[in-house]
Amino acid sequence: MNSVDILGYLKESVDEHHRFFEYTSPFLQEETLCQHQVVVRYWNNQPNSRLIILPSNTRVLIHGHLDGHDKFGTILLVEQLEVIKWNS
């Protein structure tokens, strides 16, 4: 199994189980940062989990693993979620 630890921002919800997560990826060849998004879901698949009800632009640290999804392709299953900064 793969393991992911990543820092970024929660974005808009897709439905009651999924939402977008935005993270920054540095390119080593260029001196720029690139924003990427991936769909995230809480591991227990309960509707309206803490992952979904936190406001957009909440900065979080996620520990989880990558998984395949029929609709979204590769998603990040969140096993642990730590709020770093709450933007209102």
User: Residue 84 has what pLDDT?
Assistant: 92
CA distance 19 to 37: 10
Question: How many structural domains are present in the chain?
Answer: 1
User: Residue 69 has what pLDDT?
Assistant: 94
- Which range of residues forms the domain containing residue 54? 4-85
User: Residue 15 has what pLDDT?
Assistant: 96
CATH number at residue 70: 2.40.50.140
**What string of pLDDT tens digits covers the 88 residues of the chain?**
689 999 999 999 999 999 999 998 766 666 667 789 999 999 998 999 999 999 999 999 999 999 999 999 999 999 999 999 655 5
* Total-model pTM: 0.86
